[in-house]
Structure 1
């Protein structure tokens, strides 16, 4: 007979008996296999609270975690030496058993592609660890050496899986960043080149007043485009840092904001026509600067992809519970398969046929930033598109925000 204390981080338990009998213990590997559906259900409930519309691929994500748990169960019952244990504790196991690496890596890549932050990814693994231990420990009775050892093995495997997910997430994020910088450099080149030509033209002494005015309009159009790109870049950067889209609510007339955004769109797309329709009370508490950015992005997008023979219509409807703004254009409908993806960063709408000379902002951030601004106000944005009604972006804003002091 001998006595010892086992410390699990959940308290101490005194044990006095001959060396442990495995058959009397509810081993963690068996618990993981027998209760995997219960664990997955609780973990998924937590995961879906991180982002309101995180992803519709719940079954895919559940399969990722199922694969991780099954491989962890297999790893727990596999003998390991001290060196293997040391390497795994550092998230550096070279030959992790049974697909944890594949499942964890896939999960990290999927989360990066679905706009989860690195903090949210880590929170999911923290919740998975806590869920397993909370469900398992009450079933083990006493804290024994076997239970303590299995808990240690479980924590090592979770840490390894998290390390693999973070590596894949970071790799995907680096690729996205490089792609973004390449697109940014390409797209800024067009308005900069236009401004350079305008500057060279203004050096001429034989320009008429009309030519000078036309050149000034070209410069103004180019600067509006570059300003839109920079604003989108700053908004995207803030969301990727995990701080969300900051807003400063104050008393605002949305109709006035829309008129200002319309002026920017007309300057950037002088060959397109626009209409503004407003009814009802359009005043409320909003961040006017952010709303200007939201509506300008939608108008730029509509002018870029719409039919020039038909106007882009900006409609505002004020009601007691909120304000609805719709931007409608007629052109090639957005494919149904693309409707769920166009609000993601760095996604560009497909272009068919020959393109004209109208200015384009192809950063793939405008609609993403528009969605972030709408959600920061407690609102929403949605899109529908068909050949008959055109493409309609609908923004709904509640009027219940409190003005900042």
Structure 2
């Protein structure tokens, strides 16, 4: 008997063996009933049998062997993806879920081979097609499982970032009350200033973390545009970034009207991250130059610093999340984040407003980030 009809006729027997194997996977299987243990096994097997009966050319077989998406079976993919999601939910780890498919493959081949009286050349083709179907199912299950792991991690980070805000706010308010109500000497004021700077940097890190998680859980950062003056926002951001740094020498130049409608929180994050990046990677003179150029429909913001140029290899991944420059030193002042998220948040904030961001960096000219913001935020897709 060919393998495809063998699977259909013996599907319940095969699924029984799947269940017996799944029962041995601890500790998750100890709390699962028969239906949960069997999960999508029958659907996967029957979909694999149908896939084996589908005509396939030599080129399609080669493409499938190389992992391309030709001639995939929707029923098989949906069942396998659902299986991966549910196995993650009940507590199987990735190795345990993969072991299920390994056992399924071995079980089917063993039972089928035992039933054969004399192997035929067509049986080899059956085994190839069956292995292709199981590999496809395994790939879909693994991808779905990995997506659930990633989402769980992002949700955990969101909860962590949210819960960190309350103690940070308590520290910040306590330092403010100390300055206002207590008589502090010069040394104590320095300690309070250090606490305030540290709290501010931690707050920036938490904001970046939350923005990163939001971008991972959704298509783009949500915005709430309000009328604002970008010049005032730049002055406030420079004052905050340079607080406690006597060698910080910011220069702000404004040319033309720079009023518009933007999300105040995201613009603040964008400015803090660009200024913090310039302070961190700039030369020892700590000179950071911001230039605002207002037009009829848009505002150009450039942030420039002298110092070691960004190498070409780093430019390609500069705005990627969780990527840090090889020259980055977290101990230097002016660092707004040590998570490798700062420039990623800049890009996401700009995209949310329907703008663009570019960077040029040479030893002769220094490094310049240029942001174009429409005066009236127009997120892509709206």
TM-score (norm: length of structure 1)? 0.55
C-alpha deviation, 1:157, in angstroms: 6.6
Counterpart of 1:67 in structure 2 is: 66
CA contact (8 A) 1:323 1:396 kept: yes
Distance 1:352 1:219 in 2: 23
Counterpart of 2:114 in structure 1 is: none
Q: Is 1:214 aligned to residue 241 of structure 2?
A: no
Counterpart of 1:93 in structure 2 is: 101
- Across the aligned residues of Structure 1 and Structure 2, the Cα RMSD in angstroms comes to 4.5
Count residues with an aligned counterpart.
271
Of the candidates 301, 304, 321, which is equivalent to residue 345 of structure 1?
321
Counterpart of 1:257 in structure 2 is: 233
Distance 1:384 1:249 in 2: 29
Q: Deviations over 1:178-219 (max 9, x none)?
A: 9x99xx9xxx9xx9xx99xx99x99xx9964x4444334323
Q: How does 1:40-55 map to 2 (within 5 A)?
A: none
Q: Is 1:372 aligned to residue 338 of structure 2?
A: no
C-alpha deviation, 1:394, in angstroms: 1.1
Distance 2:370 2:376 in 1: 19
Q: Is 1:29 aligned to residue 56 of structure 2?
A: yes
Distance 1:357 1:278 in 2: 27
Distance 1:69 1:94 in 2: 22
Change (3 A) 1:177 1:241: closer
SS of residue paired to 1:94: helix
Q: Deviations over 1:139-183 (max 9, x none)?
A: xxxxxxxxxxxxx999987554322223455667889999x99xx
Counterpart of 1:166 in structure 2 is: 144
C-alpha deviation, 1:261, in angstroms: 1.1
Of the candidates 351, 360, 368, which is equivalent to residue 384 of structure 1?
360
C-alpha deviation, 1:348, in angstroms: 0.9
CA contact (8 A) 1:275 1:312 kept: yes
Counterpart of 1:237 in structure 2 is: 213
CA contact (8 A) 1:371 1:381 kept: yes
SS of residue paired to 2:243: helix
Change (3 A) 1:69 1:319: same
CA contact (8 A) 1:326 1:394 kept: yes
TM-score (norm: length of structure 2)? 0.58
CA contact (8 A) 2:81 2:141 kept: no
SS of residue paired to 1:317: strand
Change (3 A) 1:173 1:268: farther
Distance 2:136 2:68 in 1: 9
C-alpha deviation, 1:34, in angstroms: 8.9
Which moves more between the two structures, 153-162 or 253-262?
153-162
Change (3 A) 1:345 1:206: same
Change (3 A) 1:339 1:269: farther
C-alpha deviation, 1:326, in angstroms: 0.8
SS of residue paired to 1:361: coil
Change (3 A) 1:177 1:363: farther
SS of residue paired to 1:334: coil
Q: Is 1:294 aligned to residue 270 of structure 2?
A: yes
SS of residue paired to 2:66: helix
CA contact (8 A) 1:272 1:308 kept: no
CA contact (8 A) 2:273 2:336 kept: no
Q: How does 1:6-405 map to 2 (within 5 A)?
A: 28-30=55-57, 33=60, 67-69=66-68, 90=83, 93-94=101-102, 159-168=137-146, 208=185, 210-242=186-218, 244-267=220-243, 269-351=245-327, 359=335, 361-401=337-377
Distance 2:370 2:153 in 1: 32
